[in-house]
């Protein structure tokens, strides 16, 4: 399973299909937080 947006590849398709999504969700949360932090830093250097 690959999520190209966050550059995550997992080789556990059976477990993912069985609902083991913790690693995917954690990676998506981390990517979202990093994007928000980058945006905040960008906005603080502009203003």
Structure tokens at 41: 């830093």
Structure tokens at 12: 């556990």
Structure tokens at 18: 């069985």
Pairing mode of beta strands 8-9, 2-3 = antiparallel
Q: What is the pLDDT of residue 21?
A: 97
CA-to-CA distance for 17 and 45, rounded, in angstroms?
Answer: 43
CA-to-CA distance for 30 and 24, rounded, in angstroms?
Answer: 10
| Mean pLDDT computed over 7-26 | 97
For residue 45, name the pLDDT band (cuts at 50, 70, 90): confident
Three-class secondary structure of residue 8 per DSSP: strand
| Whole-structure pTM value | 0.82
For residue 5, name the pLDDT band (cuts at 50, 70, 90): very high
Q: Is the pLDDT of residue 18 over 70?
A: yes
Q: Is the pLDDT of residue 47 over 70?
A: no
């Amino acid at each position: 399973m690959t999520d190209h947006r966050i550059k995550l590849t997992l080789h556990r398709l059976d477990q993912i299909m069985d609902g083991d999504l913790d690693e995917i969700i954690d990676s998506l949360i981390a990517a979202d937080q990093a994007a928000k932090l980058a945006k905040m830093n960008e906005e603080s250097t502009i203003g």
